[in-house]
Amino acid sequence: MTPPVSPVRRSIHGVMLGIIVLDTGFRRLPGDIAHADTWPFPVQFRILRGVRPRDVIEGDPRESLGAFRQAIDDLVALGCSAITTSCGFLAAVQDELTRHSPVPFLSSALLQIPMVARILPAGRVPGLIVSDPTALGDRHFHGVGATRGLPMAALPADGSLLRNMREQAAAVDPAAQEADVMLTVADLLARHAEVGALVFECANLPPYSAAVSRRFGLPVFDIVTLTSWLHLSLRPREWPDDQPR
């Protein structure tokens, strides 16, 4: 007879999402992955001190795998039921970190590309909104099971949003940042009429997803839609019994 499995000793209980946040200091708004008010369910943040966005975007994220693995271990030990991250470019190490994590692991909003591509009407394709297209390569698309060649537009390098992130701005103008996103989406759709849905690579873009969807009439998939989908699978809704009593 198989001996009973001993329960895992934990200090924190319940379904809880772990979020690995890169070492940043810029102001985050509701909707951003690292703003606590974004989430209608419990989350646990783990800041990866010493690992900055440029280290995983311009550099090689594989050099930081040890730090990410330790963060995963820490979040799992706390009781997290699944884990995600604050940078879409970590798609490049999805496979390595999934192999390490004992719970579901989401590296990037880009993981939604294959699904979105399959559900759109014939002749329609996903369009990507990214922070740095020159740094997005084969390893990122391979990490999420997607192929290159989809329509893509980049946030303006000299715009308010990316400048605030680079300069670690403690105060930001939400309207100016939203204008950057709107301009980027408008440019993409002007060049690619075949776009039938948007996928936001950057985990700092969800504060503007609702405004983009209203203005352009398209579905928007971002890190919040992906993480919420995963949470719903871990904590399915309870449904009332409709039988007469």
Task: Give percent above pLDDT 90 in the chain.
Answer: 77
pLDDT of residue 121: 97
Summarised one tens digit per residue, pLDDT across range 140-177 is 889 999 988 999 999 999 999 999 999 999 999 999 99
Mean pLDDT for 44-61 is 90
User: How many CB atoms sit inside 10 A of residue 232's CB?
Assistant: 11
Least confident of 105-109, 214-218, 240-244: 240-244
pLDDT of residue 12: 73
Least confident of 36-40, 77-81, 240-244: 240-244
Mean pLDDT for 59-72 is 92
> Is residue 4 pLDDT above 60, yes or no?
no
Which string of DSSP letters, residue by residue, matches the chain? -PPPPPPPP-SS-S--EEEEEES--S---BTBTT-GGG-SS-EEEEEETT--HHHHHTS-GGGGHHHHHHHHHHHHHHT-SEEEES-GGGGGGHHHHHHH-SS-EE--GGGGHHHHHHHSPTT-EEEEEES-GGG--HHHHHHTT--S---EEE--TTSHHHHHHHTT-SS--HHHHHHHHHHHHHHHHHH-TTEEEEEE-STT-GGGHHHHHHHH---EE-HHHHHHHHHHHHSPPP----S--
Mean pLDDT for 222-240 is 94
What integer best gives the mean pLDDT of the chain? 92
pLDDT of residue 224: 97
Mean pLDDT for 107-123 is 96
pLDDT bin (cut points 50, 70, 90) of residue 57 is confident
